[in-house]
C-alpha cells in the first residue's frame, strides 16, 4: 500500500482552516493522532478522504508549508472581525467556482461575438446617487409602477433577479457551496460579492441569508458592477459603512429600491410604525428592512428607535423559516444563474464544451440530471 | 505508443456521435485496442463515469 509522506503541520493546517477540532476528526480518522506524531502515515485513500472531510485541495498536503490563501478579490467587508478571520474554505471555494464560471462564460460570449454592454462600469462615486439609481432602475425595467402590479415583494425579488439575468448579468443565489447541502454558507461571514467584467459580470448572493436581506444585497452588488468594481461585501440595509465605495453603493441600493422622495411623500408619521412598515413594503414591493432604513433616511425615526425596530424585525424574519425544498432543477439553475446554465447546456450539446467541464461548473455528476436540467430550461435533446 | 483516455472521451462519444446502439464499432474498437495494450484509462476516470449513473456506467 502506498503511503503518503505528509507533514503534521499540513494536517494541522487543514483542520484549522476548516474550523474543525482534531478530536472530532479523530473519530472519523482514528489514526490521525499517530499521523500528527509522525508515528504512522496515511494511505493515499485515507489522505484523499481526509482532504474531502476538511475541504482542502488534495495536492496541498504535499506542500512543504501551509500556503497563504488570501481572498482573491477586494474585501469590502465591514463586520468587526471580518478582516482578521481566516476566510473559510466555504467562502474560498464559492469565490473560486464563481470565477471559473465567469471565465467560461466570458469565453462563450466572446466566441458568440457579443459586445460589452454599458451597464458595467458606467458610473463613478462622484455621480449623483438619485440619478444613478434611476438609470439602473430603467436599465433593469424595475420601476415602481411595474412592481406595484406584482402580488408580493417575493415576486418582485424573483423579477429583480430575472431582469438582471436578462440584461446579461449572471446572478447566482446559493446558500451552500456548489450543490453540497452539507456545506452551508455563513451570512455572518459574507452576504455576497460582485465580479465585475464588461462581458461576463457576476453577482453572487448568499442564499443562507434572509430573503429580505437578499434583495438589498442584489441591489448593492449591482451598484458595484455599475462602478465596475469587483467586491466581497457584508452590508445590509442598516449598515452605515465608512468606506466611500461601500457607502455610495449602499445609498444607491436603497434609492434604487425605494426612492427617498417618494418615501417622504408617502410616509405617514402618525400611523403606528409596524403598520406603516408593512404598508410601504407592499407599496414599493421591497422588504420591510429596506423600508425601515428609508423611513430613517427620511428622518421619520430617531436612531435608537430605528435600530430597535430593525432588530425586532430581523428576529421576526428569522423565526419565519425559509426552508424552500422546491424543484431541484429550478434550484440548480438559480444557483448558477439561469443564463449560465442555459449557455453551458447548449454549448455542451453542440459539442463545443466537454461534459466533464459542464458537470464541474454546474456542480453535479449524473448524466440524467444534465439531461433533465436542459429539458427544464427548454433546451431539448 | 499507448494512449490514456479522459472521461470526456467516453461521455462525448456516448452522448453525441458514437451512441452505443448507433455506432457499436467504436466501442468494439476500444475493447480491441485495450486488449492490444494500446488504449488505457485510469481508476479516477472510472469513478467519474460511474458517478454519471447512465448506460455508460
Interface pTM, i.e. ipTM? 0.89
Average pLDDT, chain A: 91
User: Residue A68: inside a domain, yes or no?
Assistant: no
Indicate the SS3 state at residue B4.
Answer: strand
**Taking residues A228-240, what's their average pLDDT?**
90
In the block, residue with C-alpha cell 476566510 = A87
Tens-digit pLDDT profile for residues A56-110: 999 999 999 999 999 999 999 987 665 567 899 999 999 999 999 999 999 999 9
Which chain A residues are within 8 Å of B15, Cβ to Cβ? 355, 367
The domain total for chain A is 3
Same domain, A47 and A190: no
Asked if A254 and A220 count as a contact pair (C-beta separation under 8 A), the reply is: no
Residues of A in contact with B6 (CB under 8 A): 356
Distance from C-alpha of A200 to C-alpha of A222, rounded to nearest angstrom: 13
Whether residue A93 is found in the same domain as residue A159: yes
Q: Are residues A363 and A250 located together in one domain of the fold? A: no
For residue B12, give the chain A residue with the closest CA: A355
Q: How big is the CA angle at A197 (ends A361 and A353), to the nearest 5 degrees?
A: 30
Residue A265: other Cβ atoms inside 10 A: 9
Looking at the fold, whether A136 and A167 belong to one and the same domain comes out as yes
**Does residue A71 form part of some domain?**
no
- Shared domain for A54 and A97, answered yes or no, is no
In a domain, A80, yes or no: no
- Tens digits of per-residue pLDDT, A180-212? 888 999 998 999 999 999 999 999 999 999 888
Residue A337 lies in a domain: yes
Residues A272 and A333 in one domain: no
pLDDT for residue A323 is more than 60: no
Nearest CB among A349, A357, A368 relative to B54 is that of A368
Q: Residue A134 sits in which domain range?
A: 89-319
Does some domain include residue A83?
A: no
Alpha-carbon span A284 to A267, nearest angstrom: 12
Chain A residues at the B interface, defined by Cβ less than 8 Å, are 349, 351, 354-357, 359, 365-368
pTM given for the model: 0.91
- A70 belongs to a structural domain: no
Closest CA to A336 of A156, A105, A167: A105
Amino acid at each position: 500500500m502506498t503511503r503518503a509522506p505528509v507533514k503534521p503541520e499540513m494536517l494541522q493546517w487543514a483542520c484549522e482552516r476548516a474550523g474543525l477540532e482534531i478530536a472530532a476528526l479523530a473519530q472519523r480518522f482514528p489514526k490521525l493522532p499517530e499521523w500528527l506524531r509522525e508515528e504512522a502515515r496515511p494511505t493515499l485513500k485515507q489522505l484523499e478522504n481526509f482532504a474531502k472531510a476538511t475541504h482542502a485541495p488534495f495536492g496541498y498536503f504535499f506542500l512543504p508549508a501551509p500556503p497563504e490563501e488570501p481572498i482573491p478579490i477586494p474585501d469590502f467587508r465591514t463586520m468587526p472581525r471580518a478582516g482578521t478571520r481566516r476566510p473559510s474554505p466555504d467562502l474560498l471555494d464559492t469565490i473560486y467556482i464563481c470565477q471559473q464560471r465567469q471565465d467560461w462564460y466570458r469565453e462563450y460570449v466572446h466566441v458568440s461575438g457579443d459586445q460589452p454592454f454599458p451597464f458595467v462600469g458606467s458610473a463613478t462615486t462622484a455621480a449623483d446617487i438619485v440619478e444613478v439609481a434611476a438609470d439602473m432602475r430603467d436599465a433593469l425595467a424595475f420601476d415602481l409602477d411595474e412592481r406595484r402590479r406584482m402580488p408580493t415583494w417575493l415576486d418582485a425579488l424573483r423579477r429583480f433577479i430575472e431582469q438582471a439575468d436578462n440584461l446579461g448579468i449572471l446572478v447566482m443565489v446559493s446558500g451552500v457551496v456548489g450543490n453540497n447541502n452539507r456545506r452551508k454558507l455563513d451570512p455572518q461571514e459574507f452576504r455576497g460579492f460582485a465580479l465585475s467584467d464588461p462581458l461576463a459580470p457576476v453577482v453572487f448572493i448568499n442564499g443562507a441569508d434572509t430573503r429580505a436581506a437578499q434583495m438589498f444585497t442584489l441591489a448593492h452588488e449591482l451598484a458595484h458592477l455599475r462602478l465596475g468594481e469587483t467586491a466581497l461585501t457584508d452590508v445590509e440595509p442598516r449598515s452605515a459603512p465608512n468606506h466611500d465605495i461601500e457607502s455610495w453603493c449602499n445609498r444607491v441600493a436603497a434609492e434604487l429600491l425605494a426612492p427617498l422622495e417618494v418615501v417622504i411623500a408617502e410616509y405617514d408619521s402618525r400611523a403606528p410604525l409596524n403598520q406603516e412598515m408593512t404598508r410601504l413594503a407592499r407599496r414599493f414591493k421591497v422588504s420591510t428592512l429596506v423600508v425601515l432604513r428609508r423611513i430613517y433616511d427620511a428622518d421619520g425615526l430617531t436612531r435608537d428607535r430605528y435600530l430597535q425596530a430593525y432588530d425586532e424585525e430581523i428576529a421576526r424574519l428569522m423565526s419565519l423559516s425559509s426552508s424552500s425544498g422546491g424543484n431541484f432543477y429550478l434550484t440548480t439553475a438559480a444557483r448558477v444563474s439561469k443564463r449560465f446554465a442555459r449557455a453551458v447546456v447548449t454549448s455542451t450539446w453542440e459539442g463545443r464544451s466537454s461534459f466533464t467541464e459542464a458537470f464541474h461548473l454546474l456542480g453535479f455528476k449524473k448524466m440524467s440530471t444534465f439531461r433533465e436540467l436542459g429539458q427544464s430550461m427548454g433546451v431539448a435533446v | 505508443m499507448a494512449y490514456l483516455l479522459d472521461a470526456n472521451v467516453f461521455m462525448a462519444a456516448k452522448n453525441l456521435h458514437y451512441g452505443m446502439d448507433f455506432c457499436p464499432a467504436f466501442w468494439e474498437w476500444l475493447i480491441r485496442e485495450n486488449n492490444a495494450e494500446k488504449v488505457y484509462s485510469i481508476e479516477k476516470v472510472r469513478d467519474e463515469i460511474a458517478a454519471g449513473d447512465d448506460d455508460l456506467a
